[in-house]
Structure 1
Amino acid sequence: MTQLTIALILFLAPLAYSPGPGNMFFAANGARFGFRATVPANLGYHAATLVVTIGIGLGFDWISREAPMFLAIIRFAGAAYVLYLAWMLARAGVMSGNDEAKPASVMDGAILLLLNPKAYLIIALMFTQFAGAADMHRTASVIWIAAVFTVNNAVAFSIYAALGDGMTARWRSPDTARFLNLSFAAILAGVAIWMLLA
């Protein structure tokens, strides 16, 4: 199991820590509201990650093979949701005195995972490489792989949220707050376009 875990983490490192919808979402929220405010969305995202990963590992991935429209629908819905998040961030005010701006919720985190086609593709790819690699029962193997995947992603997103929070801590003025909001909104919009074209 140790060998499987090390191989899995090495496999996931470039995928989990590269910029993607989840990482940019948490970086933007960390910059906007601070690291602590990203925890509920992080919990929601990774609760959904664990459920979806176990589902795919136990056979759910046949849907993407048998119904290719499924991934297309997820891709467009995910891109639309990320664009919505970008729009909300672009409209957000400065760091204080704005009651309308709220940090992402547990539900926002879960929806982001459910509408993130990159996550589905990585999960499916991961199981093509590692399913049956461990000398254990298939269900136990799937649960272990799903747990390692979920924890690894949680660490990556926490790092991005902390980096975003660090940027905010250095620049607290209204002008720079607005600049950061617009910058991260533009990055999220770019991610949404990438989701449509990838």
Structure 2
Amino acid sequence: MIETTPSLIVFLIPLAYSPGPGNLFFAAAGARFGLGATLPALAGYHVATWVVTLAAGLGLAAAAGAAPGLFTALRWAGVAYVLWLALGFLLAAAGAGPEGQGGDARPAGFGSGALLLVLNPKAYVIIALMFSQFLPVGQEAGHGAAVLWITTVFTLNNLVAFTVWSLAGDRLAAHFRDSGSARRLNTFFGVLLAGVAFWLAAI
């Protein structure tokens, strides 16, 4: 598996760094609360990434294939959750304080980060595609080790990408510290997340 790792990373980089529900949320969270306050949600998202990816590689995908309605339900739950996140930013824009914090708004915690991954249908598509391309076929003896390696590389690559998105949001917010600019930034991320939700509903 180690010899195919460079190809796996090349495959994952555009998927991890392109806009999606996860990285756009963390960019918005970084802009609103700063990188430090976003770290618990980042940890939750990527612990969940590792657990879900490992389970998928070990056979969860086959089980889900036997119940196609499960993925549909998950997709709509994800759409609703991303819309809820978008609403939070739009409400903050309507009542932003001096630094755009939105009154009693608090940064997302570990559980919220984990829930974002669980309800992110883009993540499941990427996981299935990744295993279909990089999991060795016909090597049952090494199947578990290969799944573990791919899962870990995937999770670490995502962690770096999402940290970069969070840091970019944090740096962007440094230029929008007055209340009017903070409202515009929250509106921008709220509309962007709403757009992602509608895109998820359409695919």
Normalising by structure 2, we get a TM-score of 0.93
Q: Contact between 1:63 and 1:70, CA under 8 Å: does it hold in 2?
A: no
Q: Within 2, Cα distance between the matches of 1:97 and 1:131?
A: 44
Does 2:125 match 1:121? yes
| Aligned residues with identical type, % of pairs | 51
| Number of positions where the alignment pairs a residue of Structure 1 with one of Structure 2 | 198
Q: Secondary structure at the match of 2:191?
A: helix
Between 178-187 and 95-104, report the one with greater CA deviation.
95-104
Deviation at 1:111, TM superposition (A): 0.4
In the other structure, the counterpart of 2:111 is 107
Q: Given the superposition, is the C-alpha separation of residues 159 and 41 from structure 1 closer, same or farther in structure 2, using an over 3 Å criterion?
A: same
Amino acid of the residue matched to residue 113 of structure 1?
A: L
Deviation at 1:64, TM superposition (A): 3.2
The equivalent position to 2:173 in structure 1, one of 168, 183, 197, is 168
Q: Give ranges in structure 2 of 5+ residues lacking alignment.
A: none
Amino acid of the residue matched to residue 67 of structure 1?
A: A
Amino acid of the residue matched to residue 111 of structure 1?
A: L
Q: Contact between 2:42 and 2:162, CA under 8 Å: does it hold in 1?
A: yes
Q: Within 2, Cα distance between the matches of 1:142 and 1:2?
A: 12
Runs (4+) of structure 1 moved beyond 4 Å? 96-99
Amino acid of the residue matched to residue 48 of structure 1?
A: A
Q: Within 1, Cα distance between the matches of 2:202 and 2:64?
A: 18
Q: Secondary structure at the match of 2:174?
A: helix
In the other structure, the counterpart of 2:91 is 91
Q: Secondary structure at the match of 1:171?
A: coil
Q: Within 2, Cα distance between the matches of 1:53 and 1:96?
A: 35
Query: Aligned-pair RMSD on alpha carbons?
Result: 1.7
Q: Contact between 2:47 and 2:114, CA under 8 Å: does it hold in 1?
A: yes
In the other structure, the counterpart of 1:196 is 201
Q: Within 2, Cα distance between the matches of 1:185 and 1:121?
A: 24
Q: Within 2, Cα distance between the matches of 1:68 and 1:79?
A: 17
Deviation at 1:62, TM superposition (A): 1.1
Q: Within 2, Cα distance between the matches of 1:25 and 1:3?
A: 33
In the other structure, the counterpart of 1:14 is 14
Normalising by structure 1, we get a TM-score of 0.95
Q: Within 2, Cα distance between the matches of 1:19 and 1:161?
A: 12
Q: Contact between 2:100 and 2:183, CA under 8 Å: does it hold in 1?
A: no
